[in-house]
Structure 1
Amino acid sequence: MGAADAPARIIDWLQSSTSARLLADLAATGQHLSHDLLDTLPAGHDECYVRALLVHTAVLEPRQEGLERIAPWLERILADRPAAHARLVYPYAHWVLLRQARTRAAKGRSAPGSWGHIRGRVRLILSFLDWLDEQQLTVATVRQDNLDQWLTSGPQRRHDIRSFLTWAHQRGLTNEHHIRPYPEAPATLVLTEEQRWQELRRCLNDNDLPLRVRVGRTLTLLYGMPASTVRLLTANDIRHDTDGIYFSLGRQPLFVPPRPAALVTELADRARQSAPMATSPSSRACLFPGTVPGQPLSTAGHSLLMRRHGFHTVPARSAALIALAGQLPSPVLAELLNIHVHTARKWASYSQPDWTAYLAERAADRDLRT
């Protein structure tokens, strides 16, 4: 404790926190601390905090915590459901949703929000099955007109049922149904280019703003990064090179101009120094830390932080992406920002750039190389 950067905070936590009491109770049992032991505890904030703390300090090995929690959650939510519902939802959740999540996790592409996405999909399917029961229908007997009625009488997210019904049809459990993906509407409010640069100058020059607000907003205004990406950034994502610093987000490093780079470097230094307890060598210092050790702010928490200081992410992100799409071809933009090429093309359609000259120059360059 004496070697910690903030021993007073640790002492206060030990004296007043219910999480500290839980940790003391676990230590008093004499049992070996493990994920399996923590899995026997009631799920809640204290159990989650203690587990994250033990991982953060290298007492426990890291694991995909959100992924590990899905299976027991699924067991609990299906326990009181009709058996016919469970027979449909359980295999789909395990062999489609969880399998996809494990594949993403193995490739290092998972994010904490994806677990909430899985839970939302399961709840949507259960809601649909409840509606079928009310209509005295089943997955096997539902017709296209029935499905259309359900889709149009509720929120847009009901169109996400498409994946489940496709899976069911492939296994002969239902007829073929047609559900068009609900078109994503462009943001109704977009900053003008003048407003975008005005806000960027404020982020770079206003020392009264919290540093993490300045950095988060700058990254959104420059690169169109969403809150879900910004909040996950760590000091390890920053690469120093002879010509400046870069973010390692995708296959191509993303250059940060000098003035924003100075803010990013300062925030990274603070993140490394502000951990209240010693961390393991593999721990990653979050640029936007949350209340749980080693974990970042939630997406909602990050957005709330920005709004409290008068910044709204969506209009700024839209303006940045439209501007970038007008300067770079969609494949280049997609690779640079680590977004899907279809997303890049969508933003390009708003700016309507003409890449004839660019493509001709690339062709001439290839001719010179050969």
Structure 2
Amino acid sequence: MNWLSKGIVSTVLSDLASGRRSPTHEALDELPDSKVVEHIRGVLVAAGALPPRDEQMVRLERHVKDLVASHSTPEGRQILHRYATWHLIRRLRRRSRGNDITHTQLNVVRQHLRAAVYLLDWLTDQDLTLASCRQSDLERWMTRDETRLRREAGHFVRWALTQKIARDLSFPAVKWNGPSQAMDDDARWAIARRLLHDDTIRTEDRLAGLLLLLYAQWPAAISRLTTDHLEETDQTVRIASATSRSLCPDPSPSWP
């Protein structure tokens, strides 16, 4: 009752009940962004009064719009819009395959776009553009103590080179294949079956993969296992770690 009596809550609910504000996501989007409005939205979705939508994606699109608009030059804003819309968000939608994106995925895209903004802002301060930037300029930016998100900026430079926005630049970076999401159960079981039965894969790789997929063991912990960690009794085989003993299932053709 205390929550319902708060100014913005009672105002929004009264407007919705009276018809002064339509019960749609777009109408709620017109209100100042706040936890109260998001809670009201969540209640309306749970009650079936509003259709569900990917709130993380909506939040990301707003952030992209604000971040692109923050750059000082029209050329820079155009480049950032292309990078965000046709590279980062397009890859994210393709990877999510229609599922809601996660908060981690949202943050990854934010970091990559923010890195592009940092680099473009610095180039503008130096009276440079991506087209006029040379390797010596780029290395000068990379070696600054205050430079942030160097790795993410490398992905932006690589994209700019493929789009012919920049030229003759080299930026050491690991190729990024876009935001990823948690593996679903069907994919996990499919990989586990392959590791169990595909004898074209090295035995040690199959074992390491199964320990990771089925027992959630860290690769660092798997790499330290030796035959001394195996405990064999009359009917069972167990793998002993520092904190537990895992029972190895009996190899059976009926295993999923």
TM-score interval (norm. to shorter)? 0.5 to 0.7
Q: Structure 1's 50 and 93: CA in aligned 2 closer, same or farther, altered over 3 A? A: same
Which of the residues 210, 215, 219 maps onto 1:332? 210
Could you tell me which residue of structure 1 aligns to residue 121 of structure 2? 130
Could you tell me which residue of structure 2 aligns to residue 177 of structure 1? 170
Distance (whole Å) between structure 2 residues aligned to residue 248 and residue 20 of structure 1? 43
Q: Structure 1's 354 and 20: CA in aligned 2 closer, same or farther, altered over 3 A? A: farther
Q: Structure 1's 17 and 158: CA in aligned 2 closer, same or farther, altered over 3 A? A: farther
User: Secondary structure of the equivalent of 1:75?
Assistant: helix
- Alignment map for 1:290-329 (pairs within 5 Å): 329=207
User: How far 1:16 moved relative to its partner?
Assistant: 3.7
Tell me if 1:162 matches 2:154: yes
Could you tell me which residue of structure 2 aligns to residue 90 of structure 1? 81
- Is the helix fraction higher in 1 or 2? 1
- 1:200-254 per-residue CA deviation (whole Å, 9 max, x = no partner) reads xxxxxxxxxxxxxxxxxxxxxxxxxxxxx9xxxxxxxxxxxxxxxxx9696249x
User: How far 1:31 moved relative to its partner?
Assistant: 4.5
Distance (whole Å) between structure 1 residues aligned to residue 98 and residue 18 of structure 2? 39
User: How far 1:129 moved relative to its partner?
Assistant: 0.6
Could you tell me which residue of structure 1 aligns to residue 142 of structure 2? 151
User: How far 1:104 moved relative to its partner?
Assistant: 3.1
Give yes or no for contact 1:250–1:338 (8 Å, CA) kept in 2: no
Distance (whole Å) between structure 1 residues aligned to residue 15 and residue 120 of structure 2? 43
| Counterpart residue type for residue 180 of structure 1 | A
Q: Structure 1's 36 and 16: CA in aligned 2 closer, same or farther, altered over 3 A? A: closer
- 1:291-312 per-residue CA deviation (whole Å, 9 max, x = no partner) reads xxxxxxxxxxxxxxxxxxxxxx
- 1:236-278 per-residue CA deviation (whole Å, 9 max, x = no partner) reads xxxxxxxxxxx9696249xxxxxxxxxxxxxxxxxxxxxxxxx
| Counterpart residue type for residue 85 of structure 2 | H
Could you tell me which residue of structure 1 aligns to residue 198 of structure 2? none
Which of the residues 112, 128, 135 maps onto 2:103? 112
Could you tell me which residue of structure 1 aligns to residue 14 of structure 2? 24
User: How far 1:139 moved relative to its partner?
Assistant: 0.8
Tell me if 1:61 matches 2:54: no
User: How far 1:117 moved relative to its partner?
Assistant: 2.6
Structure 2: runs of 5+ lacking an equivalent: 175-181, 191-203, 231-250, 252-256
User: How far 1:99 moved relative to its partner?
Assistant: 1.1
Q: Structure 1's 351 and 66: CA in aligned 2 closer, same or farther, altered over 3 A? A: same
Distance (whole Å) between structure 2 residues aligned to residue 330 and residue 107 of structure 1? 31
Kindly indicate whether structure 1 or structure 2 has the higher relative contact order, using CA contacts under 8 Å at least 6 residues apart.
Answer: 1
Q: Structure 1's 47 and 166: CA in aligned 2 closer, same or farther, altered over 3 A? A: same
Across the aligned residues of Structure 1 and Structure 2, the Cα RMSD in angstroms comes to: 3.7
Distance (whole Å) between structure 2 residues aligned to residue 97 and residue 127 of structure 1? 16
| Counterpart residue type for residue 156 of structure 2 | F
| Counterpart residue type for residue 39 of structure 2 | Y
Q: 26-35 vs 59-68, which deviates more?
A: 26-35
- Alignment map for 1:154-303 (pairs within 5 Å): 154=146, 157-175=149-167, 176-181=169-174, 251-252=188-189
| Counterpart residue type for residue 136 of structure 2 | D
Could you tell me which residue of structure 2 aligns to residue 309 of structure 1? none
| Counterpart residue type for residue 251 of structure 1 | R
Could you tell me which residue of structure 1 aligns to residue 40 of structure 2? 50
Distance (whole Å) between structure 2 residues aligned to residue 96 and residue 18 of structure 1? 38
Could you tell me which residue of structure 1 aligns to residue 201 of structure 2? none
- Alignment map for 1:321-360 (pairs within 5 Å): 329-336=207-214, 345=219, 347=220, 351-353=223-225
Give yes or no for contact 1:251–1:335 (8 Å, CA) kept in 2: yes
Give yes or no for contact 1:34–1:60 (8 Å, CA) kept in 2: yes
Distance (whole Å) between structure 2 residues aligned to residue 333 and residue 108 of structure 1? 28
